[in-house]
Chains A and B, each alone.
Chain A
Amino acid sequence: MTIDVEAVRAAAGSTRDPEIRRSLAEMGLLDDVLVVGSDVTVHFHLTSPLCPSKFATSIGQEIRKRVEAIPGVTSCAVVLRDHFLQAKIQELINARGRQ
């Protein structure tokens, strides 16, 4: 089954910032989307590198959840760019079984 990159962009981009209540796509925060077979990698950034880690983690987890709900996607890795706590937040977002 081929994964449609645009479908992934639409799913990931529809994730809403919980505070501003606008989608990532609308705010231009969604970056690269890579599809290799059934594995997807979504890159995104936030309005500030100091965005509270609770929000950042929650947004990243929501991206993963939405993308992994697309038929045919077996895994979604989320990459947060340009954040001071990037490594820690990414670890939380991509931890298996923590969704």
Chain B
Amino acid sequence: MNATRILAGRREGELLAFPSVHRMADILAARCREPSWVRTSVASLERFRAMTGHTDLELLLAQARATPLVAEQSLASFATALAGYTEGQVSALAMGAKIWFRLNGVNVPWRPLPGVSSAPALSTSDQQGTERVILLALIGSGLGLAELLRLRVGDVGSLDAEGRLIPDIEADPLAVQHIPRRGRQEERITFLTYSTRQALLAAMQQSTLQRDSPQPIEPIDLNAPLITQRDGSKATLASVAKARQKSKSLIRACSDVNVSLCRATGDFFRVWGLPGSRFEGPEDINIEDYI
């Protein structure tokens, strides 16, 4: 599906009028299996544009190409405008701008921008780390479990100007290259959330500490499995089964909340009537003024 179709009827689709945004959307549409990444990236770029006042994105891009510091300053001013947001929220909102810069040849750092610290992970005990990474990585990435378990450390990182992966475990947003198990067997990219990135980094740190070679700077093995046990070995069937079980429980609990909310909202409007049905305003109100 092409970018124009993916963004059809959406307000942020107007940004495709900028050639650089069109380029970003086209590359993502071709490289990502999930079209939602095109929508997410363009929508968050629109947020960046509105909140930093860089209404002419082509002008900003030209300035950033001439002086790369301009790009970093614009991202910093975006982070300032997002004061009070959590690190995860800032990461998600800055995603579009970072991808846009990179895919248009401006090599901005893919590192977290400042934000309010999120709540700490509840537990870092053995196994919990692996299960936590598996659970988080499946949320929103569109990856299947088998696809996730096949990933290597070198499969995550940032993107170059053509949307190809540059291995970098600390990248934010954290892009993933993978070959789908179904459909066309061509390399695709997706992204992991900030929480997943943090869980991955914590698990890798635990794994390094656990091993016998506590060298302060250990070269990263890009061919090592991404999802590992605490000792660095591949995730076992038992930990995968536990993650599956927890995933089902989580989905079930969230569904229960969803159903309860639907029922409560329904009960309210059964008594109240249709939204707006009790509105009392001036008789000469022109509804078209409000559309």
Contacts and interface: CB of A to CB of B under 8 A. Distances in A.
B255 interface: yes
Contacts of B263: 47-48
A20 B251 CA distance: 9
A26 to B, nearest CB: 10
B269 A50 contact: yes
Interface string A19-63: 111100001000000000000000000111111000000000000
Contact of A27 (B259, B266, B269): B259
B255 A20 contact: yes
A48 B262 CA distance: 5
A84 B265 CA distance: 13
A82 interface: yes
Contacts of A46: 262, 266
Contact of B259 (A20, A49, A82): A20
A84 B276 CA distance: 13
Contacts of B270: 49, 82
A82 to B, nearest CB: 7
B146 interface: no
A45 to B, nearest CB: 9
Give the most central of A27, A48, A49: most B CB within 10 Å: A48
A48 B266 contact: yes
B258 interface: yes
Contacts of A20: 255, 258-259
Given A20-B255, A21-B255, A22-B255, A51 B274 contact: no
Nearest to B255: A20
The size bracket of the interface on B is 10 to 19
Contacts, number: 30
B258 A50 contact: no
Contacts of B274: 84
A47 B255 contact: no
B269 A49 contact: yes
B259 A50 contact: no
B255 A51 contact: no
Nearest to A83: B266
Contacts of A21: 255
21 contacts: A19-B258, A20-B259, A21-B255, A46-B262, A47-B259, A47-B262, A47-B263, A48-B262, A48-B263, A48-B265, A48-B269, A49-B266, A49-B270, A50-B265, A50-B269, A50-B275, A51-B262, A51-B266, A82-B270, A84-B269, A84-B274
Given A50-B266, A51-B262, 14 more contacts: A19-B258, A20-B255, A20-B259, A22-B255, A47-B259, A47-B262, A48-B263, A48-B265, A49-B266, A49-B269, A49-B270, A50-B269, A50-B275, A82-B270
